[in-house]
Structure 1
Amino acid sequence: MDLLNAFIALANYVLVPGIAYGSQLALGALGVTLVYGILRFSNFAHGDTMALGAMSAVLITWGFQAIGLHLWVLPTALLALPLAIVFTIVLLLGTDRLVYRFYREKKAKPVIFVIVSLGVTFIYNGITRFIIGSDDQNFLDGERFIISARTFKKMTGLEEGLAIKTTQGLTVVTAVIVVALLFWFLNKTRSGKSMRAYSDNEDLALLSGINPERVVMITWVIVACLATTAGVLYGLDKSYKPFTYFQLLLPIFASAIVGGLGNPVGAIAGGFVIAFSEVTITYAWK
């Protein structure tokens, strides 16, 4: 019985939060690794892209809540997510047209793109804090737990309780769906195959008639979907605070690097490695 209680405690404080956090990092790392693999630079604006996408979801969610529009036991933010993704797509395509395209036409070195992305980071961060402020913002509603610790104790008669939040379950399910759709797109569609060909050999892809600007556009659209989804899921599970997403950039990049930059499968694996490392060390310290 003591061994079972110990396992439940481990699941409650390490396994469940680790899987949820790993799913969030995996989605974030996928966006970073796609930009690196296809556009060939490290996008330091990715964290604040997540912040802006999540901010738009927060504002839209507040609007839905104000008019009494809810999603039963699930967070209303799920209704806002598609609109937030559209906002982020427009934002990234606009940024590419106004900023990155100029340097792409000049055939600037990757380090120039990195420095430019840092500038974009500060602009995005300033816009986010100007619109929504720098404090924690709550936009979570619906049922809080799939199962609470008290309910689990009553059901099992164990001393330790296992709590699974709705946002944790939602994060894992959403991440699985998004990753499955992404890999289907990259491996089964003509556009996805063009992206992979462009990533493997740019010169050969151009000789094959692949339109590079179309590849770039599709890449930013996918990155917008991944960044917004990851940002909203993280905000629901933890809390929404703009500067947190800038700090989240470090574990996201660590996830992408651990898995091998430019490798989508590695980015997913790296996300869980970093997440469980963080959660386990925190649990052991406490």
Structure 2
Amino acid sequence: MTDILNAIVALLNFVVIPGAAYGAQLALGALGVTLIYGILRFSNFAHGDTMAFGTMATILFTWGLQALGVSFGPLPTALLALPLGIAATALLTLGTDRLIYRFYRRAKAAPVVLVIVSIGVMFVLNGIVRFIIGVGDIGFDDGARFVINARDFREATGLREGLALRTTQVITLVTAAICVALLFWFLNRTRTGKSMRAFSDNEDLALLSGINPEKVVRVTWIIVAALATVAGVLYGLDKSFKAFTYFQLLLPIFAAAIVGGLGSPLGAIAGGFVIAFSEVFVTYAWKKVAGYVLPDALEPGGLVQLLSTDYKFAVSFSILILVLLFKPTGLFKGKSV
């Protein structure tokens, strides 16, 4: 029985808790992608670097608060700086739309043209972020490190495995839940949110109903900026900030949005957790868990790891290809890619 409990704790430590936190981060990122696709009707390849910009702005404001002696007690100071980071990112997305995307939108450019334009914006943003804050790893997770400490857990339970629950993981799950609840409340309960849904379903009919398209576009970019910044900051707190990492995150974020169904907010959330747990499940070395649950004679000699963590993005890519081949509308029947 003790070995079973040790196996469960090991699973919680290395699969369930990290997968849930990573899934929440991908879900918030995928929500931004699916809102742009559903309302503005193009795939925004600059979304990953928008996350990087929002995280960079939050880090800079965090450093400013710390220099002034401001902290948030056991919680990261970045949470205090987060609204400022969201505001800076909203100014960026609104400015980018005003200077670039609006021209092509009014010219009724094909979606593929907007995709190409967003790739250009992606490279520019990536260069700006790396120029301002550098290319190295940056940690900004001050405050209490653990909610549950592995050593204290082992002493309290007598188990060999110690459960470790990091503060950033709890913050990720709680913040993601609050953001999702607020987003769904906004889309379903407010007049502006209903206008956005109507614009997404049928643009021509929405215009005939008197909906202001420019207002819909502005609100969409502000919401996307908020989601991107929150997702980027949560990912940076949980791991660390490195500008190029957010460019790489674009693949699992798009995979999550497509698996769930592009244009479906609920699908984006489900897709985020599907991709996250798939990556964690395939790249985890199962030797420790197998050693607890299998007889000594059957205990594996190797790591029992299907793929190295260096190839975790291959999991996202494989799932993305399979979904595009066999179910292009995704799990929640979003818009076909």
TM-score (norm 1): 0.99
**Partners of 1:257 and 1:269 in 2: CA distance:** 10
* Partner SS state of residue 73, structure 2: coil
For residues 284 and 105 of structure 2, the distance between their equivalents in structure 1, rounded to whole angstroms, comes to 45
- Structure 2: 5+ residue stretches without partners: 286-304, 309-337
Match of 1:190 in 2: 191
Secondary structure, in 3 states, of the residue corresponding to 1:252? Answer: helix
Deviation of residue 121 (structure 1)? 0.2
2:302 matched to which residue of 1?
none
Report the alpha carbon displacement of residue 181 of structure 1 after superposing the two structures with TM. 0.1
Aligned to 2:10: 9
Q: Which letter maps to 1:233? A: L
- The answer for the alignment partner of 1:166 in structure 2 is 167
What corresponds to 1:200 in structure 2? Answer: 201
* Residue type of the alignment partner of 1:182: L
CA distance in 2, matches of 1:203, 1:233: 38
For the aligned residues, what is the CA RMSD? 0.7
Alignment of 1:103-142 (within 5 A): 103-142=104-143
Deviations, residues 86-124 of structure 1 (Å, cap 9, x unaligned): 000000000000000000110000000000000000010
Q: Distance in 2 between matches of 1:191 and 1:43?
A: 22
Report the counterpart of residue 58 of structure 1 in structure 2: 59
* SS at 2:284 equivalent: helix
Report Cα offsets for 1:174-216 as digits up to 9, x if no partner. Answer: 0000000000000000000000000000010000000111100
Partners of 2:154 and 2:44 in 1: CA distance: 46
Between stretches 132-141 and 74-83, larger displacement belongs to 132-141
The one-character-per-residue Cα deviations of 1:31-77 (angstroms, maximum 9, x if unpaired) are 00000000000000000000000000011111111121100000000
Residue 107 of structure 1 aligns with an amino acid whose one-letter code is K
The residue aligned with 1:245 is 246
Q: What residue in structure 1 maps to residue 313 of structure 2? A: none
Describe the superposition over 1:226-281 as per-residue Cα deviations: whole angstroms up to 9, x where unpaired. Answer: 00000000000000000000000000000000000000000000000000011111
Shift of 1:155: 1.4
1:146 alignment partner, SS class: strand
Taking the TM superposition and a 5 Å limit, the aligned residue runs for 1:23-34 are 23-34=24-35
Mapped pair 1:214 → 2:235: no
The residue type equivalent to 2:245 in the other structure is T
In structure 2, the partner of 1:84 is 85
Q: Secondary structure of the residue that 1:126 maps to in structure 2?
A: helix
Residue aligning to 2:95 = 94
**Percent identity at matched positions?**
72
User: What SS is found at the alignment partner of 1:44?
Assistant: coil
The number of aligned residues is: 286
Q: What amino acid is aligned across from residue 136 of structure 2 in structure 1?
A: D
SS at match of 2:147: strand
Aligned to 2:266: 265
Following superposition, the deviation at residue 20 of structure 1 comes to: 0.3
Question: Secondary structure of the residue that 2:252 maps to in structure 1?
Answer: helix
Q: Once the 2 structures are TM-superposed, how far is the Cα of residue 171 of structure 1 from its aligned partner? A: 0.2
Encode CA deviations 1:14-37: one digit per residue, 9 max, x unaligned. Answer: 000000000000000000000000
Match status 1:73 vs 2:71: no
Unpaired segments ≥5 residues, structure 1: none
Deviation >6 Å, runs of 4+: none
In 2: Cα distance, 1:161 partner to 1:112 partner: 52
- SS of aligned partner of 2:143: coil
Q: Measure how far apart 1:139 and its partner are.
A: 1.2
Distance 2:249 2:121 in 1: 16
Cα deviations across residues 107-157 of structure 1 (Å, max 9, x unaligned)? 000000000000000010010011001111121100000011111111111
Q: 2: CA distance between counterparts of 1:89 and 1:83? A: 10
In terms of fraction of residues, the more helix-rich structure is 1
In 2, Cα distance between equivalents of 1:107 and 1:157: 66
Q: Distance in 2 between matches of 1:236 and 1:146?
A: 15
SS of 2:233 mapped into structure 1 = helix
Q: Secondary structure at the match of 1:162?
A: coil
Which residue identity lines up with residue 163 of structure 1 in the other structure?
A: A
